[in-house]
Amino acid sequence: MENIRQRFIRWKGFAPSFITTLSANGSSRSYYRIGFEGQTVLGAFNASVPENEAYFSFTRQFVQAGLPVPQVLHIAEDRKTYFVEDLGDDTLFSLLPKDSRSGIPENVRGVYRQVIENLTRFQTAGMKAGKGLDYSHVYPVADFDRTAMMWDLNYFKYSFLKLADIVFDEPALETDFDSLCAFLNREPHRYFMYRDFQSRNIMVRGGAPWFIDFQGGRKGPLGYDLASLLYDAKASLPDDFRQFLLESYLEAAARNIAGFRKEDFCREFYACVLLRILQAMGAYGLRGLCQKKDLFLKSIPYAIRNLAGLRQKGVFSPYPEIERIIARLEASHWSDFGNPASDKLTLHLCSFSFKKGLPPSEDGHGGGFVFDCRFLPNPGRLEQYKTLTGRNSEVQSFLAAYPEVDAFLQNCLELLKPAVRNYIDRGFESLSIAFGCTGGQHRSVYCAEKMKTLLERNFSVKVELTHREHPE
């Protein structure tokens, strides 16, 4: 933040009234809202100068073409810090109802229609002037060719499938990848591809859409950006509205894109949908499974639902291994929608020794769950484990080797689920859950630690864990 402040002072010659940090979600860029003299601008910092140069270049060309993008107001000498027009906080995504399957309000439908019209203008930017866009500063590549497509498909393979432990036939999957890339590269790409054309990258000001985050733009197939918009996972647009938007695009493209062929586009479109969703799932895997950002994990079921609906229509029959993987995902726990959530409820989880009595209820109301671990295999009977606890990897490996331990924990979880859901629904604030063994050192500590992970995976609530006999 201090860097932004100093760069602003060098630009304007005076200090700002305030600076607040804005969420960047999955972006590596940092954004700040800066107030001064009754107005605001956005400050941005991105260490990648080549990516910034792509953004500056495209912004300049889009402004000249009359497209609604925020103007770059000032670029610092390091080319890493810059200031842009502030479009506010309303995105197209924020205007959607929480359950958009119930219908899209007319005002939002109107904004989407404007978005579709503008998409065709982005795709053909500069063409009417006979020169097209200048791609000399594009980042990281100028064309979404086979190599770039394979990057995205391998992103799905390595950052989602492998991290999520999904079984697949690798040679068969590579064959499908090759077929998909060959189909989408059967002709040279001529049109601008925005790359991240989704509802969170479309701001709404005065009832009209404005467009941001196009620095990854390049040449690519026409269907890709429409696929990004219509199959944006968390937006979860109803199928009839998707069909309406597809038809709206076909009409706009016929007007605005010379030589547009509806039949060719429709064949290409669903291949682009597949490629885009697989790329997005790679991002969900990296950001969610590897970097532990829950927002991305919550998008996985929506992406699977989109793929499942298309699989049932036979869209993916040319890609048999991908189709088999989608079927496995549909049957897996990754397709479960959303964790029940509460900002009130705290689960007080603890381990204890039965020799020293039951632990008191944390909220003073009594009750809760007490699970007896004393029937499980006891590592404390073995000399090498006597000074260790259930937190130590050696003890964890010992207990994990016994199937009955995992079965016990899963059974405990199934007993807890209806209670936790009920407490969330009724707005309760506290539930006590305790695991006891003889000394409160090995089995109970291990089970409490594992249960914390299971509860956090299944519920969006606060979980406080204590080990009464071994708090260190």
Domain co-membership, 331 together with 269: yes
pLDDT of residue 103: 79
Residues 247 and 201 in one domain: yes
| 294 and 310 belong to one structural domain | yes
Residue 10 has pLDDT above 80, yes or no: yes
Give which of 409, 384, 389 is closest to 471, Cα–Cα: 389
Between 108-117, 136-145, 283-292, 386-395, the lowest mean confidence (pLDDT) is in: 283-292
Are 102 and 46 part of one and the same domain? no
Q: Which of 54, 85, 116 is the last residue of a domain?
A: 85
Give the per-residue pLDDT at 364: 62
Count of domains observed in the chain: 3
Cis peptide before 171 (omega within 30 of 0): no
Question: 2-16, 47-61, 77-91, 99-113: which range is least confident on average?
Answer: 99-113
Residue 472 lies in a domain: no
Amino acid at 244: F
Tell me: the pLDDT tens digits for 131-189? 789 999 999 999 999 999 999 999 999 999 999 999 999 999 999 999 999 999 999 99
Average pLDDT, the chain: 91
Residue 462: predicted pLDDT: 92
The SS3 of residue 441 is coil
Are residues 359 and 309 part of one domain? no
Question: Is residue 128 one of the residues assigned to a domain?
Answer: yes
314 and 374 together in one domain: no
Residue 299 has pLDDT above 80, yes or no: yes
Q: What integer pLDDT is reported at residue 52 of this predicted model? A: 97
Nearest partner of 433 among 365, 356, 366, 371, judged by Cα: 371
Distance CA 155, CA 171 (A): 16
Q: Is residue 125 part of a domain?
A: yes
DSSP 62-112: HHHTT---PPEEEE-TTSSEEEEE---S-BHHHHS-TTGGG---HHHHHHH
Q: What is the pLDDT of residues 205-256, one digit of tens each?
A: 999 999 999 999 999 999 999 999 999 987 889 889 999 999 999 999 999 9
Per residue in 71-114, pLDDT (tens digit) is: 999 999 999 999 999 999 999 999 998 766 567 999 999 999 99
For tokens 């910092």, name the residue: 45
**Burial category of 4 from C-beta neighbours within 10 Å (exposed 0-12, middle 13-18, buried 19 and up):** buried
| Burial classification of residue 7, based on how many CB atoms lie within 10 Å of its CB (0-12 exposed, 13-18 middle, 19 or more buried) | buried
Count Cβ atoms below 10 Å from residue 460 Cβ, excluding itself. Answer: 15
Specify the pLDDT at position 426.
86
Helix, strand or coil for residue 294? helix
Q: Work out the percent of the chain whose per-residue pLDDT is above 70.
A: 96
In this structure, is residue 197 part of a structural domain? yes
pLDDT of 427 above 70: yes
* For residue 406, pLDDT beyond 60: yes
What pLDDT is attached to residue 27? 66
pLDDT of residue 134: 93
Same-domain pairing of 302 and 430? no
In a domain, 229, yes or no: yes
Beta bridge partners of 434: 350, 370
pLDDT at res. 96: 92
Answer whether residue 137 is part of any domain.
yes
- Is 440 within 8 Å of 470 (Cβ atoms)? yes
Distance separating alpha carbons of residues 250 and 379, to the nearest angstrom: 67
CATH of the domain at 100: 3.90.1200.10
Residue 153 lies in a domain: yes
Q: How far is CA 85 from CA 46, 58, 137, 214, 397, in A?
A: 17, 15, 22, 15, 55
Q: Same domain, yes or no, for 59 and 128?
A: no
Q: Do both 150 and 254 map to the same domain? A: yes
Tens digits of per-residue pLDDT, 304-343? 989 998 888 888 899 999 999 999 998 888 887 656 778 8
Say if residue 322 is in the same domain as residue 225.
Answer: yes
Instruction: Say if residue 219 is in the same domain as residue 74.
Output: no
- pLDDT of 184-216, one tens digit each? 999 999 999 999 999 999 999 999 999 999 999
Domain end marker among 301, 335, 369:
335
Q: 422 is in which domain, residue-wise?
A: 341-467
pLDDT band at 55 (very low <50, low <70, confident <90, very high): very high
Q: 400 pLDDT band (50/70/90 cuts)?
A: confident
Residue whose C-alpha is closest to residue 278's, from 298, 248, 303, 257: 303
Q: Is 79 a member of any domain?
A: yes
**What is the CATH number for 51?**
3.30.200.20
Average pLDDT over residues 451-467: 89
Are 171 and 189 in a shared domain?
yes
- What pLDDT was estimated at residue 471? 87
